[in-house]
Amino acid sequence: MKKPHQRSNLCSICAASLVTTVLVVCCAFQTSCIEETTIDAENNVLVGLLLPFTGGDAALGAAYERAALMIKDTVNEAGGIGGKPIVFVSRDTFSDQDRAKKIH
């Protein structure tokens, strides 16, 4: 059985990996996210989250969102990225890959 601090480290690594993946994927689609929001893109780092909030994978979407929010809060508390806070722009994929591809 793993010790509590080992689990915590593993969870931190998994959360960091998830957010890194989300950041990389979403940076490619950042223009799409910016067009649909009124968030100040000059003074914030906008990150799009395409997650399954509904449908068969909704439980996963909620878990991924919580992990991403924890990392976002940690980064923002440390001064953000280049002095700018991270702001998420979330969209529901409805647990459907084809539908997710059409979100912008």
Class of CATH domain 4-101: alpha beta
Find the helix or strand (DSSP H, E) in which 104 lies.
none
Domain boundaries, the chain: 4-101
Supply the pLDDT for residue 27.
Answer: 46
Q: Which residue has the higher pLDDT, 17 or 65?
A: 65
Q: Which pTM value belongs to this model?
A: 0.60
Per-residue pLDDT tens over the stretch 27-63: 444 444 444 547 888 999 999 999 999 999 999 999 9
The mean of the pLDDT values for the chain is 77
